């Protein structure tokens, strides 16, 4: 990145409050500064949270580097991509479960009668064990829910769900887990049938409003954006493969299938700023009524998979290469460069938001940055 596009890092908290080790916190600060100087990722926002609140906040860079640069601020909202699965879809499903509206072992066909596999349950979809493919570019030929839903059912007709015999045996076969966006598209539609309202409205009513998350939303701004509104959102890919033609994706969901569904889907589409996601992960450290302690324990319990892809309900367990954390850890990533990690026994949660696919994706570099940031946070807050 050229000198005129370098943005200073805002870094507050860790060296001032005694919770973090000052030398390790300074190393983290130096690393984040070096990222901004190198220009990758273009924008970053980081929060480290404990039960008392945000203990470290950092942000800097540029929300967009195409045309007039838009500086990152504390208010910058990011397309969180697959974090939608755990922040919205898993949370809503557990709320419905707490209210007795559904069970995790309901057949998918109870809520989506045209679903072709009688044995497939909501738990299969939650744990990525329904045998569904990871992704299909439905957006290349289809628009709207009805044709895309029919296409997902056609894919499901060729899928074989895992046996999931008993809780003790659920993690014995690595090949039971096949990560799938399609499964979470289905969960979003099942939730709409169960809750009797669109997914985005249910999320606001049952999660965002009770938790005080004012900007965590699908389709976060009006269709006709002012420059000020656009500047508060981190841009994603330029001339990527998630649209039918070239152009910069900015102010709308990056994922092509979520875009073709109107911006609202169970697998992608949520936008949020740092403060809202910091408040959300604090919920997972101190249950406050939206999710019960029992739901959080269930969500973070091993359901399927071995090795590097162990699954709870939606969340991944046992991160590899992200530093040393105390006790069980739940985590998830988003394709655009976002991630959440929660270590309840350590009393620490990490929110990392970047637009690392902007203007062009660098997935290997993105993985390196994620790993190093979490390693340094683990050292600072051990």
Domain ranges of the chain: 3-380
CATH for 3-380?
3.40.710.10
Return mean pLDDT, the chain: 92
5-24 per-position pLDDT tens digit: 446 789 887 444 555 677 88
Report how far residue 284's alpha carbon sits from residue 290's, in angstroms, rounded to the nearest whole number. Answer: 10
Q: Which residues contact 93 (CB under 8 A, 6 or more apart)?
A: 102, 104, 122, 126, 187, 191, 313
Record the tokens describing residue 100, joined without a space.
């007795």
| Phi, psi values for residue 45, rounded to 5° | -140, 135
203-248 per-position pLDDT tens digit: 999 999 999 999 999 987 666 678 888 999 999 999 999 999 999 9
50-90 per-position pLDDT tens digit: 999 999 999 999 999 999 899 999 999 999 999 999 999 99
Greatest CA separation for the chain: 59
Could you tell me the CA-to-CA distances from 188 to 33, 34, 112, 258, 348 in Å, in that order? 39, 39, 11, 11, 29
pLDDT band at 382 (very low <50, low <70, confident <90, very high): confident
């Amino acid at each position: 990145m050229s000198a005129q596009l370098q943005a200073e890092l805002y870094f507050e908290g860790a060296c001032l409050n005694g919770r973090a080790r000052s030398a390790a916190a300074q190393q983290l600060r130096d690393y984040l500064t070096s990222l901004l100087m190198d220009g990758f990722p273009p924008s970053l926002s980081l929060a480290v949270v404990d039960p008392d609140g945000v203990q470290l906040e950092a942000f800097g860079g540029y929300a967009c580097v195409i045309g007039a640069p838009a500086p990152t601020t504390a208010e910058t909202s990011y397309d969180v991509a697959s974090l939608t699965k755990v922040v919205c879809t898993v949370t809503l499903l557990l709320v419905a479960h707490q209210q007795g509206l559904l069970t995790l072992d309901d057949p998918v066909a109870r809520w989506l009668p045209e679903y072709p596999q009688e044995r497939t349950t909501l738990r299969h979809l939650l744990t990525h064990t329904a045998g569904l493919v990871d992704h299909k570019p439905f957006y290349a030929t289809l628009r709207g829910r009805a044709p895309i839903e029919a296409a997902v059912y056609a894919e499901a007709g060729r899928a074989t769900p895992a046996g999931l015999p008993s809780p003790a045996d659920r993690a014995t076969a690595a090949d039971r887990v096949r990560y799938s966006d399609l499964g979470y598209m289905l969960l979003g539609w099942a939730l709409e049938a169960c809750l009797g309202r669109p997914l985005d409205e249910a999320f606001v009513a049952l999660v965002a409003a009770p938790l005080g998350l004012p900007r965590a939303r699908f389709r976060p701004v009006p269709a006709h954006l002012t420059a000020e509104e656009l500047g508060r959102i981190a841009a994603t890919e330029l001339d990527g493969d998630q649209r039918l033609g070239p152009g910069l994706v900015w102010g709308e969901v990056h994922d092509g299938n979520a875009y073709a569904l109107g911006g609202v889907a169970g697998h992608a589409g949520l936008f949020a700023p740092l403060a809202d996601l910091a408040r959300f992960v604090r919920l997972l450290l101190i249950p406050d009524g939206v999710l019960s302690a029992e739901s959080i324990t269930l969500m973070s319990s091993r359901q399927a998979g071995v090795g590097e892809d162990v699954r709870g309900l939606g969340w991944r367990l046992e991160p590899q290469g992200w530093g040393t954390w105390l006790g069980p850890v739940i985590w998830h990533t988003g394709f655009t460069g976002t991630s959440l990690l929660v270590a309840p026994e350590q009393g620490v949660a990490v929110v990392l938001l970047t637009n690392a696919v902007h203007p062009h994706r660098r997935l290997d570099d993105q993985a390196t940055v994620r790993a190093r940031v979490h390693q340094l946070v683990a050292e600072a807050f051990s």
